[in-house]
Amino acid sequence: MPETALTHYTLKHSPYSSHSLLLARLPEPGRGRRVLDAGCGNGYLAEILASRGYRVTGIERPEGVTRQIPDEIHFIPADLERPLPALGEYDVIVCADILEHLRDPAGLLTRLRRHLAPGGHFLCSLPNSANIHFRLTVLAGRFPKEEKGLFDATHVQFLTWDGWDELFRRAGLSFQAVWPSGIPVGLRFPASDGTPWVSAAERICYDLARLRKQLFAYQFVVEAR
């Protein structure tokens, strides 16, 4: 499996980012609900969820972790491209920024589905390869290899909304809700991140994504059952 937890993969703090939208689906208090963070990287999301009172298990390849995983997270070293180790049941299974890195994401979802507790669900963030920035870049005859974003060099899946929907259905899952994220302007202009103009631009991009997700969403945060 490609590297998924390098140092440039960090928590996205923008209120319109996929991480913020996903965390909003798992508010305090967690009351001990069981969460599996599949492809947890360095455990940034898992650490926040543990602090909210969830019982969190994280899975990541040992070579994909570049810091000490916090003690409050039950860490399982494993490659998600291979058969899963022994797991329990979970109320929520999180797949944040991971499925696009896998050769067989539908196979992983099928295996993980067996570990959902009754009434449990998936929360996943999925890049949108029909985003207007992606379309215009390809139309210009370019397909860059970048460190992160829609043209991340470690992505092996480039899917649109319909493509993700079909993939989840092959895994026996269906989307129950979707929350689109906007283009992260601050990531494109890091020197200006947090300034009023960047914040305003990100809000506009977020509103456009909510208006027409297939064209303007940067990522889809989905609940699937």
- What does the pLDDT look like over 90-120, one tens digit per residue? 999 999 999 999 999 999 999 999 999 999 9
Mean residue pLDDT of the chain comes to 93
Q: What's this model's pTM, rounded to 2 decimal places?
A: 0.93
Residue 39 domain flag: yes
Quote the CA–CA distance of 110 and 27 in Å, as a whole number. Answer: 27
**In terms of residue numbers, what domain contains 125?**
18-224
Of 6-15, 34-43, 86-95, 193-202, give the lowest mean pLDDT range. 6-15
Predicted local confidence at residue 130, as pLDDT:
98
* CATH code of the domain containing 96: 3.40.50.150
Residue 132 domain flag: yes
Residue 165 domain flag: yes
Residue 62 domain flag: yes
Predicted local confidence at residue 141, as pLDDT:
98
Residue 12 domain flag: no
Quote the CA–CA distance of 109 and 225 in Å, as a whole number. Answer: 11
Residue 216 domain flag: yes
Q: Does residue 154 have a pLDDT over 60? A: yes
Q: Which residues of 133-157 are buried (b: 16+ CB within 10 A; e: fewer)?
A: bbeeeeeeeeeeeeebbbbbebbeb
- Please say whether the beta carbons of 98 and 154 come within 8 A: no
Number of domains in the chain: 1
Residue 41 domain flag: yes
Residue 13 domain flag: no
